Amino acid sequence: MTSIYIHVPFCAKKCPYCDFYSVPYRKAMAEDYVQAVIRNLHHYQNFDTVDSIYFGGGTPSLLSVKQISDILETCSKDFKLDSTPEITLEYNPARTDINHLHELREAGINRLSIGTQSFSDAQLKLLGRTHTAEQNLQTVRNAEKAGFYNISCDIMLGLPYQTEEILSETLHILTSLPVQHVSAYLLQMEENTPFYTNPEILDNLPDDDTSADRYLQAVYMLEDAGFYQYEISSFAKPGFESQHNLRYWYCQDYLGIGAGAHSCIKNRRFYVPKDVELFCQNQLQEEITISETACNPEEKLMLAFRTSRGVPISSLQPEAQKKLNMLIKNDYVKLKEKDCIALTPKGFAVSNAVIATLLL
Ligand code: SF4
């Protein structure tokens, strides 16, 4: 069983905090790119049963419905699909059009991941987003009307000027909508982004304690609204966990297609260079993929610690097991059934330090 990830590296406008690989959208280039994706999917045909397909980016919703449909048709012809595959498309809420959403649903997309980020117009403006809070609302409501019953929204935490009240309002609005999944990410200051050198941003960034407070506020408000935390940044109503993302954290196989896409197949990891033209020019991405070292046991444990499933105590070194009582007593780690441990919300808020204590 595997998952297919399709990277769509086009954006209408670069957000000033983002360091994901993307280039400005151009129609002709997008068409060449889709043809290259289809060519590569065909090359890997039948290599395994597929239980999820994920269009990530960039902004995959910039592709036409026909292009998305052609890619999905190739997947269903060339691979054996699981009986109920999860098929996700990351969606930019600048486009609220119900007909467009309906066409995507008809094309086979059954899960939307909407980049709402915040329901405060001031915060959206600060982030350089091209949509408003009202467009976020419209998109989610129209998605439900168009037949989407598995909707995820992204929100960002630890933003400049993000007071407890501002975040509270965003979470109140979000949890009143027909949304089944929330991904909540702390703002990361990435080098080579405009945010990294913007004095206004730098002067108003919250300190680590304040960011941890906002994170815990989100965890508890989402929990009260029925979203349980199943991963450090992921919250779901029961049964709506992202099957695709769980594969990454459980270290299971996934096949990435496209410029900048990563793959892990039977413990062999590789990635495609972040170069749209190079990807399109080559007949197959295999000609340009770069190998990475296989996941070692420590990396696997680090990934497992991101999830609420946690890790078996027996997988820890004896010295780490000795530190457990202190971490449990201070509410950073909790005991689970079957002799497993997992981080608590407080532990997730300082996960790097807790995991380092247990793995080093
Ligand atoms: S945050 Fe999303 S929309 Fe903005 S530049 Fe990055 S990939 Fe593109």
Q: What is the mean pLDDT of residues 175-202?
A: 97
Judgement on whether residues 165 and 49 belong to the same structural domain of the protein: yes
Judgement on whether residues 315 and 196 belong to the same structural domain of the protein: no
Q: How far is residue 326's CA from residue 55's CA, in Å, rounded to a whole number?
A: 42
Judgement on whether residues 47 and 184 belong to the same structural domain of the protein: yes
With tokens 């919300």, the residue in question is: 345
Asked whether the predicted pLDDT for residue 77 surpasses 80, the reply is yes
Judgement on whether residues 192 and 336 belong to the same structural domain of the protein: no
Asked whether the predicted pLDDT for residue 331 surpasses 80, the reply is yes
pLDDT class for 338, splitting at 50, 70, 90? confident
Q: What is the mean pLDDT of residues 95-112?
A: 98
Judgement on whether residues 14 and 88 belong to the same structural domain of the protein: yes
Asked whether the predicted pLDDT for residue 296 surpasses 90, the reply is no
Q: Is the CB of 11 under 6 A from ligand 1?
A: yes
**Is residue 99 situated within a structural domain?**
yes
Per-residue pLDDT at 220: 97
Read off the pLDDT of residues 45-61 as tens digits, 9 standing for 90 and up: 987 899 999 999 999 99
CATH code of residue 308? 1.10.10
Q: Is the CB of 114 under 6 A from ligand 1?
A: no
Task: Measure 209 CA to ligand 1 centroid, in angstroms.
Answer: 27
Q: Hey, which of 11, 187, 274 would you mutate to test ligand 1's pocket, going by the most ligand atoms within 8 Å of its Cβ?
A: 11
Q: What is the mean pLDDT of residues 72-89?
A: 95
Burial 33-56 (b: 16+ CB within 10 A, else e): bbebbbbbbeebeeebebbbbbbb
Judgement on whether residues 320 and 229 belong to the same structural domain of the protein: no
Q: Other CB atoms closer than 10 Å to residue 212's CB: what's the count?
A: 19
Residue where one domain finishes, among candidates 207, 223, 248: 248
Alpha carbon 87 to its chain centroid, in Å, reads 14
For residue 310, the enclosing domain spans 297-359
Judgement on whether residues 239 and 303 belong to the same structural domain of the protein: no
Task: Measure 12 CA to ligand 1 centroid, in angstroms.
Answer: 9
Asked whether the predicted pLDDT for residue 287 surpasses 80, the reply is yes
Peptide bond into 58 cis (omega under 30): yes
Judgement on whether residues 231 and 333 belong to the same structural domain of the protein: no
Which helix (H) or strand (E) segment is 188 a member of? Answer: none
Asked whether the predicted pLDDT for residue 237 surpasses 80, the reply is yes
Q: What is the pTM of this model?
A: 0.96
Per-residue pLDDT at 48: 85
Judgement on whether residues 236 and 317 belong to the same structural domain of the protein: no
Task: Please report, as a single letter, which amino acid is at residue 242.
Answer: S
**Is residue 287 situated within a structural domain?**
no
**Is residue 289 situated within a structural domain?**
no
What's the number of domains the chain is made of?
2
